[in-house]
Amino acid sequence: MSAPSLPPFTQNSPPASAQTGPPPPQPSTAPVNFPGIHRAAKRGRHKGSQNWSKNDTSKFLDLVEKHLPLGQKGWKLVIAAFCEWADASGRPACDGKAIEGKYKMLLKTKKPTGDAHCPPEIKRAYQIESLINEKADTREISNDSF
């Protein structure tokens, strides 16, 4: 008896382990941009941005103390005044979130316990915050506004 003949497509093809040539393409790991799908913006600083100098922080705290912002309108006044000062002083302008965030960051810094040294800008931020709280507590409400 003779061996069964193999189908013609397998007779001439080499076994899988003996195939030569380039390997099959691998799936790409590069991000794919699809129309209508937006990726999240990069976070972090803008190119060329600078840190807050002591002079910037001092002037900023002066403006917060001057306006004692209670809400969005008050912060807009502080932001506008600071941007005007920064432009006149040759300092880079900050956006509103960065300016308000700087103040909140100063307030989040814990006062050191014991005899530790507390930086003057943090002490000043706490003093200004107490002035803002006093301003909010002592607001007069007239009957004409109802």
- H or E, element range at 96: helix 96-108
For residue 146, pLDDT beyond 50? no
Task: List pLDDT tens digits, range 47-58.
Answer: 555 677 888 889
Q: Work out the pLDDT band at 18, boundaries 50, 70, 90.
A: low
Q: How far is CA 107 from CA 14, 54, 65, 73, 113, in A?
A: 74, 16, 14, 20, 16
Task: List pLDDT tens digits, range 87-119.
Answer: 898 887 777 888 888 899 988 887 667 767 888
Percent of the chain at pLDDT exceeding 90: 18
For residue 81, pLDDT beyond 90? yes
Task: List pLDDT tens digits, range 31-79.
Answer: 666 666 666 666 665 555 567 788 888 998 999 999 999 888 999 999 9
Type of residue numbered 9: F
Indicate the domain borders of the chain.
54-136
Give yes or no for a contact between 124 and 61, defined as CB atoms under 8 angstroms apart: yes
Q: What is the residue-averaged pLDDT of the chain?
A: 76
> What CA–CA distance (Å, rounded) separates 9 from 120?
85
pTM of the model: 0.58
Tell me what the mean pLDDT of segment 11-25 comes to: 62
Length of the chain: 146
